[in-house]
Amino acid sequence: MKDKLLKLTIPKGSLQDVVTDLFNRAGLSLKFSSSRDYRPTLGDSEVYVKLLRPQEIPNYLIGEEEFDLGISGTDWVKETNADVEEILDLEIGGIKIVLCVPNTWDKINSLDDLLQNFYDENKVLRISTEYLTLSLNYIKDNGTYKKLYGNKAPLVITPWKTWGENEKIKIFLSFGATEAKPPEEVDVIIDNTQTGSTIRANNLKILDEIDRSTAVLIANKKALNDNWKKEKIKDLKVLLMGVIEASKKLHIFLNVKQENLDKLLTKLPALKRPTISKLAGDERDGWCAINTIIKKEDFLNLIPILRKYAQGLVVHEPRQILPFENI
């Protein structure tokens, strides 16, 4: 390895493909030799890359000898309570953390209903989840739970350790396929979902949305104390931010008569100010060319005014818009 090397860890699993696509669009050329490759190459030789499970990544960004930079979901940053620096929301891999119960439970429509029902029937409520910290806090903070059980913490059960005092509420650590566990192993689950299709396919319904998560670029705080690593992280941040910004924008070119220019400019939003130039050899008719960046969300509303005053329109989707002034 080189003397100057930034150690980056990216997630294996459901986030891997979207992260790879993001890096490639940023010009970073992330390449795998095979589907089992855990050490892909990056176009930047000063960055060493390794794949890890997103659940593990936040904790590998703490300490002198660990990774300098990583990508994980905000759900796992919160779940692990890792002391890391959030550098950039990548706005990909969006999921919801949800509480799910069997879809036949028509009379249970909230966590309050669930807790009260099991209390009244003197039954143990069994919950399966990968999110032990989130689930524990979610249940303990519920008003009905406090009324029924006071300050007793639910029992948390893992293969290595069990803790908590309230044996009427048991939270089991899940190692995957959480949605398949009810009704035999557990009664309900707390899990993540993008569309809810897997939950519905397993005869469950969403009772509550507990939180939302997206993939984020996070840094080891000790790495940020190293000037070279800090600047390298800024370089990667601006490249990735450029892709995110470009995904929300359109680059448009149009010709308009000089007499209609002001009418159009009052209606035309731009990233800063549009570039305007006279068409070569067209001094007599007074045509101007406009070159600007607009938000995608504004495009359809602009069509009536563009159709009225512009000679024609060329639209490009930019690959990157690098916001140097924001870094």
> Could you read off the pLDDT of 4-39 as tens digits, one per residue?
899 999 999 889 999 999 999 999 999 998 888 899
What is the signed CA dihedral for 66, 68, 73, 79, rounded to 10 degrees?
A: 40
Which domains does the chain carry? 6-92+214-246 (3.40.190.10), 96-212 (3.40.190.10), 249-326 (3.30.70.120)
* Rounded Cα–Cα distance for residues 26 and 177 (Å): 34
pLDDT tens, position by position, 213-261: 999 999 999 999 999 999 999 999 999 999 999 999 999 999 998 888 8
What pLDDT is stored for residue 65 in this prediction? Answer: 83
Joined tokens for residue 133:
């910290």
Tokens of 212: 């939302």
E strand segments, the chain: 6-11, 47-52, 69-73, 85-89, 95-102, 125-129, 154-157, 162-163, 166-173, 188-193, 204-213, 215-219, 249-257, 275-278, 287-295, 310-316
Sequence-distant (6+) residues with CB within 8 A of 43 are 27, 28, 29, 30
Question: What's the rounded Cα separation, in Å, for the pair 272 and 268?
Answer: 11
pLDDT value, residue 280? 75
What's the whole-model pTM score? 0.88
Find the distance separating the first CA and the last CA of the chain, reported in whole Å: 28
Q: Read out DSSP for 110-156? A: SHHHHHHHHHHTT--EEEEES-HHHHHHHHHT-HHHHHHHTTPPEEE
Residue ranges in the chain modelled with pLDDT below 70? 1-3, 270-272, 281-285, 325-327
The pLDDT score that the predictor gives to residue 283 is 59
**Are 138 and 210 within 8 A, CB to CB?**
yes
Torsion angle of C-alpha atoms 115, 119, 123, 125, degrees rounded to 10: 20
At residue 279, the pLDDT reads 81
Beta-bridged to residue 296, according to DSSP, are none
